[in-house]
Amino acid sequence: MSLVLKIKRAETPFYASLKRIAKTLIHFDLPFWRPWGRFLNAIYICAKFVIAGLRRLIAILYYGPIFKSRCVSCGRNLYLELVPSISGPVQIFVGDHVYISGALGIASGHVFDKPELRIGDRVFLGHLVSFRVSRQIIIEDGVIITQGCYITDSDEHPLDPELRAQGLPPEAADIKSIRICRNAWIGRGSYILKGVTIGEGAIVGAGAVVTRDVPPMSIAVGNPARVLERHIT
């Protein structure tokens, strides 16, 4: 039997005393002195500002140019925090005042020569948003896509198991473009699948799996997503 187990069980008075000592050490805390706490808090805040400033400087001077070099066009006042992960021959068009929060993944298939990802003005892309572009995905102006969303215009593999086993890509006819219209809001962890149009001003609830069009100014939730309310006021 291990020493630790004997102490935990307090099998003898000796082990019981060791257990009490251990508990005392685990829960030990210094008396609180407010001036000292304020001093440490000031150091903590200053360090946060310095680190944030350095990260922003790196993003402007290093991450931004790397990402822009992979874009066909990129508008003014791009904000990003990390270098987006990009693979495949995707052509990327980015508008003005786009905000990319955290990690962004962009991958393209190889069925079409020049698949396109078009991101409009004032678009917000949350952390861990992922695009899989095989034909075309269009994100119009003012769209909010929150953390962890996955947007793909194909099934990514053939539906036929024999073709999947051969490692073939999906058929061109099975790849269907996606459009997310102006001022739509895509909730956290949602999946937007091939051929879908999200109407202007629509809201997709968190965790929804959208397989059909969502009308403008409506709310859609669930798996598969269904429209709960139309004509948001």
pLDDT digit string, tens, across residues 82-119 = 999 999 999 999 999 999 999 999 999 888 889 999 99
Q: Which of 97, 110, 157, 231 is catalytic?
A: 157
Catalytic site includes residue 127: no
pLDDT band at 218 (very low <50, low <70, confident <90, very high): very high
Q: How confident is the model at residue 229 (pLDDT cuts 50, 70, 90)?
A: confident
The string of pLDDT tens digits covering residues 113-169 is 899 999 999 999 999 999 999 999 999 999 999 999 999 999 888 777 887 787 778
Q: Omega of the bond prior to 224 within 30 degrees of 0, cis? A: yes
